[in-house]
Structure 1
Amino acid sequence: MPLLRQRRFPRARKSVGAARVFVTETLRDWGYDDRSDDIRLCVSELATNAVLHGVPPGREFALALTGDDTFIRVAVRDSGDGVPEVREGGAEECGGRGLRLVQELSDDFGVTTHNPGKTVWTVFKAVPTTRGARPEPGAHG
């Protein structure tokens, strides 16, 4: 059974750093060291987008991590409308490069729409390198 940890964060700038800490601790607990830098960077980008584009103000966004012995899946859900797009623009563009980074660093990436909101998810092929204090399958942290 896959491992699962999820947490809700307020739609506030400080939540981006808190999301990175949450992911860092989870990956360490699960024994995933191999792709942790890529995963943390992508979480930072997805959490930033949820803070900037999730509506209305005052709502939370949810971050869920699932993993097994072959992958880590990150999913960030917010209540904002619209579907995020990867932009091809150059350095002069003001936005959209974060999702390009997520697309390049991960092994799979997509958006699932809901009513209301959306989930932006990304998958990383990863194998635990150590056997940390792995929680029971389906445990919430």
Structure 2
Amino acid sequence: MPAPRQRRFPRSRTSVREARDFALQVLGDWGCTDRLDDIRLCVSELATNALLHGAPPGREYCVNLSLDGTVIRLEVRDTGDRRLTVQHPRPDPHPDECSGRGLLLARELADDFGVTEHVVGKTVWATFKTGPTPRQLAENEW
């Protein structure tokens, strides 16, 4: 099983793209090709949420990825004090609304989803069940 990988990102607009690229690089290194679109979208949504609502000015947020058998776990931790709630979509959203659905989307795409509160900040996490990687098949690790 590969070691978990993490990276910190600054509170800047370009960091969401960098977080997404980091996640895709890690998954590629691990040989994980299943569920890439779901994971990429969830990294974008969780990193954007941390950037806009979680990481106070001058602070960073952290993206962590781990692989346990055929389950990928994505975590985004911030140091903000804002409590997080996943709201249900409004029945009749305005067609021009561009925000407010990211966490709901992540919850729907992931196989499991949650928030862990810390003394300082929180970790939003999502898990994705995948098929065995080519390496796992070759080494019979699964």
TM-score norm. by structure 1 comes to 0.86
Q: Following the alignment from structure 1 to structure 2, what is the Cα–Cα distance between the partners of residues 56 and 34?
A: 34
Q: Provide closer, same or farther for how the CA distance between residues 60 and 103 of structure 1 changes in structure 2, counting only shifts above 3 A.
A: same
Residue matched to 1:131: 135
1:29 Cα deviation from its structure 2 partner: 0.7
Q: Runs of 4+ in structure 1 displaced over 3 angstroms?
A: none
Bigger radius of gyration: 2
Counterpart among 105, 117, 126 of residue 109 in structure 2: 105
Tell me the SS of whatever aligns to 2:85.
coil
* 1:11–1:54 contact (8 Å) kept in structure 2: no
- TM-score, structure 2 normalization: 0.85
Question: Structure 2 stretches of 5 or more lacking a match?
Answer: 137-142
Query: C-alpha displacement at 1:2, in angstroms?
Result: 5.4
Q: Given residue 54 of structure 2, which amino acid in structure 1 is its aligned partner? A: G
What RMSD in Å do the two structures reach over aligned CA positions? 1.8
Q: Which moved more, 1:71-80 or 1:47-56?
A: 47-56
Residue number in structure 2 paired with 1:138: none
- Could you tell me which amino acid in structure 1 is paired with residue 105 of structure 2? L
Task: Quote the residue 1:122 is aligned against.
Answer: 126
Q: Is the 8 A contact 2:53 2:82 kept in 1?
A: no
Aligned residues of 1:30 and 1:128 also touching (Cα < 8 A) = no
Kindly provide the amino acid, as one letter, of the partner of residue 23 in structure 2.
V
CA–CA separation in structure 2 for the residues paired with 1:108 and 1:64: 16
Identity, % of aligned positions: 61
Q: How many residues align?
A: 132
Which residue in the other structure is 1:26 paired with?
Answer: 26
Unmatched segments (≥5 aa) in structure 1: 133-141
